[in-house]
Amino acid sequence: MALISNEGEPVTRWWISKGLEVVKTERDIFSKSKMRAARLKFIAGANRLGTIKGWMSSSQLIDNKNSPREYELTNFGLAIFSNDPKLVKSTTWWSLHLSLCFSQNSEPYPYFFLGLESITKDWVLWSDLLDKTKNNLFGEEGNEYKDSTIESLLSSIRRMFENDNPLAELGLIEIRNERQGSGKSIRLGSPRLTDEILIHALAMCRFAHFKSRESVDFSVLAQTGLPNFLCCSKDQLRQHYQRMSQMHQWQSYFSFDRAVDLESITFKDACTPDKTVLLLLQKGQDTWM
């Protein structure tokens, strides 16, 4: 995976909403020739334009696959723009969170969650999370990233879950200040998981890791980090999918199969991100904390 290119800063709800609106009609808005116009539209300096583009690209809302200097809305970006252009729904931010977890250019966002304990949800010192991430994250040529790079990027991600920033009220992350100047501690929260969130998470995981497979062992599915991304334990995730597999409304998406010493998920035709994200955006319940 590639590092998120966000200039070490979080992004606001308004910036992403504006980005969807502008990119839809001006694909070259992030090009050098449009720098002045972009700064006026986004009310932002050059570095913050990089922040906006970086978050939108990493969360798979936009891409420049067809032209290096032009970005366009992906199917996911179009779905958000059509269903929640102002990004006010909790389901929109759940979809953005899951997109970042399974993106190919959003590191260290996934490690932000993978470095935390999903069973006991113990508090982890911020400095320890930085060290753990640095030890597990390497460039394409196997080189280590600078401490300052990892700290800048992880801090920008943490700030997305603080104060009035967009992801703060989903309950995904808890942060506290430690006494005696020892910095911050962090742990996974206890968000409300609806069935629509769980089915979209399954589809995103399938698309990212098992696109050519019809089924996968549940233990292998859990190793992708899915429990951490949903802030639940492996056993809790198993219980959710076992329950859902017995409900008629989810039987066209997947089945949970059990045999001797083996539990597996079989994917059905409807279990694709393009379908499940619309289900989440249009039918999902409010989960703001």
* pLDDT of the residue at 1: 61
**Range in 133-137, 171-175, 284-288 with the lowest mean pLDDT:** 133-137
Single-letter amino acid, residue 142: G
Strand partners, 257: 264
For residue 140, the enclosing domain spans 109-188
Give the separation between CA 271 and CA 254, rounded to whole angstroms: 7
pLDDT over threshold 90, residue 181: no
Residues 211 and 277 placed together within one structural domain of the fold: yes
Q: Is residue 160 part of a domain?
A: yes
pLDDT tens column, 55-107: 999 999 999 999 989 999 999 999 999 999 999 999 999 999 999 999 999 99
d(CA 166, CA 51): 15
**Amino acid in the structure at residue 179:** R
Q: What is the CATH number of the domain that holds 253?
A: 1.10.10
For residue 53, give the nearest of 21, 6, 87 by alpha carbon. 6
Of 31, 57, 91, which residue sits at a domain end? 91
Structure tokens at 198: 């769980």
Q: Is residue 258 part of a domain?
A: yes
pLDDT of res. 253: 98
* Helix or strand holding residue 217 (H, E): strand 215-217
Sheet holding 254-259, edge to edge: 215-217, 262-267, 254-259
Q: How many domains would you assign to the chain?
A: 3
Is 44 domain-assigned? Answer: yes
Q: Is residue 288 part of a domain?
A: no
- Is the predicted pLDDT of residue 28 greater than 80, yes or no? yes
Distance (Å, whole) CA 217 – CA 46: 47
Domain boundary among 143, 171, 188: 188
Model pLDDT for residues 139-165, shown as the tens digit of each residue: 877 788 999 999 999 999 999 999 999
Q: Is the whole model's pTM more than 0.95, yes or no? A: yes
Average pLDDT of the segment spanning 163-180: 93
Structure tokens at 192: 């409300």
Query: Is residue 127 in a domain?
Result: yes
Asked if residue 170 is part of any domain, the answer here is: yes
Residue 144 one-letter amino acid: E
